[in-house]
Structure 1
Amino acid sequence: MTHAVSMHISMIYIALSGLLLAVLALDVVRGRLKYQVGLGDGGHKVLSRRIRVHGNAVENLPIALLLLLAVENAVSSGLLVHVLGSLLILCRLLHAYGLRKSAGTSLPRFFGTAGTWSMMLACVGLILANSF
């Protein structure tokens, strides 16, 4: 028996994540031009944070999006997929904003991290619950 893979809803969040990554990468490039640094951070704390904001998104978005795709294929609720995808994008924006402003702890960074991890764990639970 074959199972058609659905990606219609997830593609929206994949595209938005791609846009977010492009904006964050552009922010790094702008910092490199401003501080005239070709590789690394050149000892500039602001540039270092920009690099980490982009890096953190690159580290978290791929697995979160794969989980979202799997949920879309495991659960028949498009609304649930939209809620999870929206949560992911919102939390990645919060995290980026919080870390971009300060290397220390901040509420946007905390809620961005906690929300991203919560979204991923919810996806894991939904996938496992619908796999048996």
Structure 2
Amino acid sequence: MFHITALYAGLIGLFYTYVSLHVSLGRKAHQISMGDGGQSDLNTRIRAHGNFSEYAPITLILIGLSEARGAPAFVLHGAGVALLATRAANFFGLKSSTGYKLRFYGALTTYLLLLFLSLAVLGHALF
């Protein structure tokens, strides 16, 4: 049960560990334990971490609910791959001064993914 969701939750967990470590290493480099201390690099790392933690959990929940309701495997894998790709696009887009397009398409795909999964889950709940 929830084999596909578990796969993507594990992969997202590994990526989240990397994103979290990225913040910790930035804090250590700037010797800042709280906030960003006015360091734009650290602020960017914190925002990447925050953005990840804002979108990944709800999307994983929606994938899990879709799996529980019997969504086809290709839909679940598509959603899982899209989740990983959008989080990577945001993270690497923020790290680059030219990453605006990566972030734009990552955000757009995130919104479409959330909309699709939310409507699918609601459709199953209502009918």
Q: Aligned partners of 1:124 and 1:59: how far apart in 2?
A: 16
1:51-130 to 2 correspondences below 5 Å: 51-102=46-97, 106-130=100-124
Is residue 92–residue 99 contact of structure 2 (8 Å, CA) maintained in 1? no
TM-score when normalising by structure 1:
0.89
Report how far residue 29 of structure 1 moved: 0.8
Identical positions, percent: 33
More helix by share: 2
Unmatched 5+ residue regions in structure 1? Answer: 1-5
1:8-87 to 2 correspondences below 5 Å: 8-87=3-82
State the one-letter code of the partner of 2:109: G
Q: Secondary structure at the match of 2:7?
A: helix
Report how far residue 99 of structure 1 moved: 1.6
Q: Aligned partners of 2:71 and 2:42: how far apart in 1?
A: 43
State the one-letter code of the partner of 1:38: S
Unmatched 5+ residue regions in structure 2? Answer: none
The superposition leaves residues 40-92 of structure 1 with CA deviations (integer Å, 9 ceiling, x where unpaired) of 11110000000010011011111110001011112341111001111111111
Count, aligned residues: 126
